[in-house]
């Protein structure tokens, strides 16, 4: 169930008085019944009994997972659409967030069990003492977009632009990290970025289209929206070997709902196979569930998704070192303090 709100209703069971004892039941009969009950309860469970018990327990657990309106949420959206969560025996509620600050606040408050997030947030949370772990990498896609008035139509124009390039993004964030690494990958100097902090993605989009910003870093599919409105896409994050997006789970969920999280990732992998086989089949479903503008559905880029696996050690190390260099954390974390090998 995809929702932008989550509510829980506790229903008290009505009190049912015990039935009066049936007359005429002899002591011997009572002893036989007690003996039968004790014998049944003392008998060891069979493998089938244990399996059925585990499945019932799994079905009783609900995972609430926060997603953002970006393509890295696609496998979860498709898994829900195809009923894979239910088939894997777990109840999953997808909660759509349009602001990552609200998503993080919900994680901290324990309102959600997991979220589509990133390694910068994971490492920052570790440094602040939060009990989170990355359980799988995701495949996001960002674009470095420039306005028509910027004079930067391609990467080749980047060095010739006068002064620093005013770029809308979130400072000290995954967007910041990805912007720098994208430019470096194509030989452009990221030190020419002058960051204009813009938390709200729609504001960032509007400003780069109108020329209020020279450039902006946007998630897919809003990159396509900007391009359709005349902006230039000079580089996208698929130039990188790996992306630092992750599914992040709380420590509480990893302790109490570990099997449910494994079931979530099994459903995720099944959805990945379906999307990779025929991405066009799900365009309208994705656009509707993620709240994308209707014209985006036929033009958005759908990446080739990888099956759920723990984040690449080299990417974890690179993000960690970038954060240390910027003074965001004081030291590089041990990998097992930010990654849980749920699927290793």
Contact predicate 329/320, CB 8 Å: yes
Residue scoring higher pLDDT (104 or 281): 281
Give residue 258's pLDDT.
96
> Is the pLDDT assigned to residue 178 strictly greater than 50?
yes
Contact predicate 153/259, CB 8 Å: no
Nearest to 247 by CA among 110, 60, 68: 68
- Rounded Cα distance between 250 and 113, Å, is 6
Give residue 3's pLDDT.
47
Give residue 200's pLDDT.
85
Label residue 292 by pLDDT band (50, 70, 90): confident
Alpha carbon separation from 9 to 12, 107, 123, 301 (Å, rounded): 10, 20, 35, 39
> Is the pLDDT assigned to residue 321 strictly greater than 70?
yes
Identical fold at 57-139+243-337 and 142-239? yes
- What token pair was written down for 94? 């997808």
pLDDT digits (tens, 9 = 90+) for 167-177: 999 999 999 99
Contact predicate 246/122, CB 8 Å: yes
Alpha carbon separation from 66 to 39, 81, 116 (Å, rounded): 47, 16, 6
Is 73 buried (19+), middle (13-18) or exposed (0-12) by CB count in 10 A?
A: buried
Residue scoring higher pLDDT (326 or 27): 326
> Is the pLDDT assigned to residue 57 strictly greater than 90?
no
Q: Could you tell me the residue ranges of all domains in the chain?
A: 57-139+243-337, 142-239
pTM: 0.80
Give residue 40's pLDDT.
38
DSSP of 263-282, one letter per residue?
HHHHHHHHHHHHHHH-GGGG
pLDDT digits (tens, 9 = 90+) for 209-233: 999 999 999 999 999 999 999 999 9
Q: Is the dihedral of CA 100, 340, 265, 51 positive or negative?
A: negative
CATH class of 142-239: alpha beta
Three-class DSSP category at 203: helix
Give residue 271's pLDDT.
98
Give residue 61's pLDDT.
83
DSSP of 137-190, one letter per residue?
E----EEEEE-GGGT-SSGGGGGGSSS-EEEEE-TTSHHHHHHHHHHHHTT--G
Give residue 38's pLDDT.
30
Superfamily of domain 57-139+243-337: Periplasmic binding protein-like II (3.40.190.10)
**What's 339's DSSP letter?**
B
Give residue 35's pLDDT.
35
Q: Which of 134-138, 250-254, 291-295 has the lowest mean pLDDT?
A: 291-295
């Amino acid at each position: 169930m995809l929702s932008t709100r989550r509510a829980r209703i506790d229903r008290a069971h009505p009190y049912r008085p015990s039935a009066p004892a049936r007359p005429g039941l002899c002591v011997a009969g009572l002893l036989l019944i007690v003996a039968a009950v004790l014998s049944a309860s003392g008998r060891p469970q069979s493998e089938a009994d244990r399996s059925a018990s585990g499945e019932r327990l799994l079905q009783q657990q609900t995972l609430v997972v926060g997603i953002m309106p970006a393509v890295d949420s696609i496998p979860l959206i498709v898994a829900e659409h195809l009923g894979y969560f239910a088939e894997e025996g777990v109840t999953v509620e997808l909660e759509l967030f349009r602001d990552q600050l609200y998503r993080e606040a919900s994680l901290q408050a324990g309102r959600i069990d997991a979220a589509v997030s990133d390694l910068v947030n994971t490492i920052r949370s570790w440094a602040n003492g939060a009990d989170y772990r990355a359980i799988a990498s995701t495949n996001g896609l960002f674009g470095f977009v420039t306005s028509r008035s910027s004079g930067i139509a391609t990467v080749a124009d980047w060095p010739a632009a006068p002064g620093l390039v005013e770029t809308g993004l979130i400072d000290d964030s995954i967007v910041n990290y990805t912007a720098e690494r994208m430019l470096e990958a194509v030989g452009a100097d990221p030190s020419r970025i002058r960051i204009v902090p813009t938390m709200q993605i729609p504001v960032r989009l509007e400003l780069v289209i109108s020329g209020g910003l020279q450039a902006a870093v946007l998630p897919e599919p809003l990159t396509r929206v900007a391009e359709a409105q005349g902006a230039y896409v000079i580089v996208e994050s698929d130039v990188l070997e790996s992306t630092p997006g992750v599914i992040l789970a709380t420590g509480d969920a990893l302790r109490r709902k570990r099997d449910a999280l494994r079931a979530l990732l099994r459903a995720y992998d099944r959805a990945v196979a379906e999307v990779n086989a025929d991405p066009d089949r799900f365009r309208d479903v994705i656009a509707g569930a993620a709240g994308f503008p209707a014209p985006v559905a036929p033009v958005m880029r759908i990446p080739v998704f990888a099956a759920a696996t723990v984040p690449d050690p080299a990417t974890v190390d690179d993000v960690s070192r970038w954060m240390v260099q910027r003074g965001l954390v004081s030291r590089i974390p041990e990998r097992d303090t930010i990654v849980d090998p749920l699927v290793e």
